[in-house]
């Protein structure tokens, strides 16, 4: 199968564009952001997917705001669910016609880290550093999936195949969250030590924060509290049973104490990352705010799950330290309270099958929790703009009409 392709590309800070681009092949071609050592890499182990759903992520937004070194023309998109339309000669178990979820981590399945289930830091897919992803700066240059078609390497290892195609299509709006934000939120909750009866504070009510809150509920937390500066996003958290903290109104500790009767929680999740703002009205950017506040509210012996993105290069950082990812973190406080810190990319493959089962058997309604909103591929620029202005929505692109008429339920 061959032909044209349309994809969402980063143009410059604040601007994305839907462009006509080449139909993918089983070889990584030269292009914006592709690591030179990856050019010409043949993927006999790969497949071509017809993209059924692909999502706009907060991590994409960092690039679009100009807060990374992303080059012009980089095709975006690392949250992909699709149907296999072509497979390479070395693919054994994935078949044409399969409906699959694509982990945003690209992993070879052969290196030490992959064998230890640390698929977020595969050693063989990115010449620059451990770990790779689709459509993301400095992550190997694998072409993004906010497109009509995309190539996925190491298909037998990477792809989660849904055995029942009809059931998968029926639950597609929920299942599309498996490529990133649901496992990422779940990873944050798990690594924070969430369990039955826990009290959990989630910093950030964007899609990952909401996914972390829903995950904490799934894990049996007694109380889940979500904090944010955005009233619309806090209302979304309350819509599925979370308590909320309005960070424009008083300290986190005081508001948690009003909810729990004490100013501390068992576990906390940083779902904000390096573009954090200070607490209070009309607050300025202060990238260590969340990390420091979490150390203040987590009990001694507790843990911080940190799926929020922190970078090594931030051209828009508030000072020279922030531009290199060097933050003024109160490590002494965390040390004194014997906190555990868990950072880095979520290893999606560790969680996605179990979370898929929870979705398919109606144990969680993740699309509703994150307010999934379907738009066309051509509407992607509008989705990026509205998301950047704080819309409490998870925008899902619908390149081929598989989600026509679907709403979160």
Residue 1 clears pLDDT 60, i.e. is over it: no
**Which residue stretches of 116-206 are H helix?**
155-158, 165-170, 172-175, 181-191
The pLDDT tens digits for 231-251 are 999 999 999 999 999 999 999
291: part of which helix (H) or strand (E)?
helix 289-297
Query: In sequence order, what E strands does 262-317 have?
Result: 265-270, 298-306
Give me 150's structure tokens: 């995309």
313: pLDDT confidence band, cut at 50, 70 and 90?
confident
pLDDT of residue 399: 98
Encode pLDDT of 149-185 as tens digits. 999 999 999 999 999 999 999 999 999 999 999 999 9
Query: Around Cβ 238, how many Cβ atoms within 10 Å?
Result: 12
Residue with tokens 């409490």: 392
Angle in degrees, CA 141, 375, 348, rounded to 5: 45
Is residue 3's pLDDT more than 80?
no
Q: How many CB atoms lie within 10 A of CB 23?
A: 15
> How many whole angstroms separate alpha carbon 297 and alpha carbon 317?
26
Which helix (H) or strand (E) is 52 found in, with range? strand 47-55
Q: CA triplet 11, 14, 17: central angle to 5 degrees?
A: 40
d(CA 300, CA 265): 10
Closest CA to 366 of 180, 192, 222: 180
Determine the Cα–Cα distance for residues 240 and 155; give it in Å rounded to an integer: 35
State the average pLDDT for the chain: 96
pLDDT surpasses 70 at 333: yes
> Per-residue pLDDT for 2 more than 70?
no
Question: How is residue 142 annotated by DSSP?
Answer: B
Determine the straight-line distance between the first and last CA of the chain, rounded to whole angstroms: 35
Q: Among residues 14, 28, 16, which one has the least CA distance to residue 139?
A: 28
* CA–CA distance, 409 with 173 (Å, rounded to integer): 9
pLDDT of residue 218: 98
| Residue 211 contacts residue 178 (beta carbons within 8 Å) | no
| Structure tokens that stand for 365 in this block | 């309604």
pLDDT at position 264 is 98
Buried b (16+ CB within 10 A) or exposed e, 140-173: bbbbbbbbbbbbbbbbbbbbbbbeeeeebbebbb
Residue 333: closest CA among 278, 305, 277, 291: 291
CA distances to 209, 268, 295, 305, 397 from 227, in Å = 9, 11, 15, 15, 28
Q: Coil, strand, or helix at residue 352?
A: helix
Q: Which is it for strands 99-102 and 160-161: parallel, antiparallel or unpaired? A: antiparallel
CA separation for the pair 168, 101 (Å, rounded): 10
pLDDT reading at 188 higher than 70: yes
Question: Confidence class of residue 199 from pLDDT cuts 50, 70 and 90?
Answer: very high
Q: Which residues of 368-379 are buried (b: 16+ CB within 10 A; e: fewer)?
A: bbbbbbbbebee
Q: Which domains does the chain have, with CATH numbers?
A: 4-180+347-397 (3.90.180.10), 182-343 (3.40.50.720)
Mean pLDDT of 200-209: 97
- Mean pLDDT confidence for 363-383: 97
Residues 43, 27: Cα–Cα separation, whole Å: 6
User: Average pLDDT of 365-384?
Assistant: 97
pLDDT (0 to 100) of residue 282: 84
How many CB atoms lie under 10 A from the CB of residue 264? 18
Dist CA 376 CA 18 (whole Å):
11
pLDDT tens, position by position, 57-76: 999 999 999 999 999 999 99
Instruction: State the residue for tokens 């339920």.
Output: 409
Gyration radius from the chain CA atoms: 20
* Residue 395, strand partner residues: 373
pLDDT-based confidence at 4, cuts 50/70/90?
Answer: confident
pLDDT tens digits, residue range 241-298?
999 999 999 999 999 999 999 999 999 999 999 999 999 888 889 999 999 999 999 9
Stretch 172-199: mean pLDDT: 98
Residue-wise pLDDT for 92-135, tens only, equals 999 999 999 999 999 999 999 999 999 999 999 999 999 999 99
């Amino acid at each position: 199968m061959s032909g044209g392709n349309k994809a969402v590309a980063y143009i410059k800070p604040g601007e994305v564009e839907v462009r006509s681009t080449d139909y993918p092949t089983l070889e990584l071609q030269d292009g914006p952001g592709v690591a030179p050592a990856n050019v010409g890499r043949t993927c006999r182990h790969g497949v071509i997917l017809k993209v059924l759903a692909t999502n706009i992520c907060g991590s994409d937004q960092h690039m679009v705001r100009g807060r990374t070194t992303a080059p012009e023309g980089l095709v975006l998109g690392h949250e992909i669910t699709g149907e296999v339309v072509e497979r390479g000669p070395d693919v054994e178990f994935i078949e044409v016609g399969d409906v699959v979820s694509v982990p945003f981590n690209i992993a070879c399945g052969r290196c030490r880290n992959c064998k230890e289930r640390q698929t977020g830091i595969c050693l063989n897919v990115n010449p620059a550093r451990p770990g790779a992803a689709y459509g993301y700066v400095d992550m190997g240059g694998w072409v993004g999936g906010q497109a009509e078609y995309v190539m996925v390497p190491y298909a037998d290892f990477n792809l989660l195949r849904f055995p029942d195609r009809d059931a998968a299509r029926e639950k597609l709006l929920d299942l599309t969250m498996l490529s990133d934000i649901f496992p990422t939120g779940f990873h944050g909750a798990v690594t924070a030590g969430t369990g039955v009866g826990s009290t959990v504070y989630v910093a950030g009510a964007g899609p990952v924060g909401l996914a972390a809150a829903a995950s904490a509920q799934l894990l049996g937390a007694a109380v889940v509290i979500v904090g944010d500066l955005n009233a619309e996003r806090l209302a979304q958290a309350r819509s599925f049973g979370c308590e909320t903290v309005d960070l424009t109104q008083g300290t986190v500790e005081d508001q948690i104490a009003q909810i729990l009767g004490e100013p501390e929680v068992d576990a906390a999740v940083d779902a904000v990352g390096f573009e954090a703002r200070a607490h209070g009205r009309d607050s300025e950017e202060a990238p260590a705010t969340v990390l420091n506040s979490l150390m203040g509210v987590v009990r001694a012996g507790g843990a911080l799950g940190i799926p929020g993105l922190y970078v090594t290069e931030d051209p828009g950082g508030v000072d020279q330290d922030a531009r290199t990812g060097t933050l003024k973190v109160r490590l002494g406080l965390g040390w004194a309270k014997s906190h555990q810190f868990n950072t880095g990319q979520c290893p999606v493959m560790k969680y996605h099958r179990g979370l898929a089962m929870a979705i398919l058997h109606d144990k969680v309604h993740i699309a509703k929790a994150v307010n999934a909103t379907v738009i066309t591929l051509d509407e992607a620029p509008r989705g990026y703009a509205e998301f950047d202005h704080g819309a409490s929505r998870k925008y899902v692109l619908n390149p081929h009409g598989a989600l026509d008429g679907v709403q979160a339920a």
